[in-house]
Amino acid sequence: MTGLTIERLFERLLVAASGCVLIGAAAVLDDRVRDRATGVFAGTAMSELAAGRHQVERALQYATNAIGYQSSENGTLVFFVVAAAVLFFVMLKT
């Protein structure tokens, strides 16, 4: 059990390190990436994150409204679509 946990931890550290290497390489090659990374690490990018969060909230609100409208018309189809989405996210997680 402990070996499995250490292996998972090592895999996650390896993924994080490779992501940092990719971002670092992109920052060396492109000034826009360097400016964006500097803004994120300095904490000035919070307004952009808030704007992105607002867009995601609006998209989710539109999706829930569409699902509510469709569920009154096509309940069985909506059930299968939701089940497929849950299975898809479970598949991505494992």
Q: Please tell me the predicted confidence (pLDDT) of residue 84.
A: 92
User: Above 80 in pLDDT, residue 4?
Assistant: no
Query: Which of the two residues, 27 and 72, has the higher pLDDT score?
Result: 27
Sign of the dihedral through C-alpha 35, 38, 43, 46: positive
Terminal CA-CA length for the chain: 18
Q: Is the pLDDT of residue 72 over 70?
A: no
Query: Average pLDDT for residues 57-69, to the nearest whole number?
Result: 83
pLDDT, position 90: 87
- Predicted pLDDT at 80: 84
Q: What is the pTM of this model?
A: 0.42
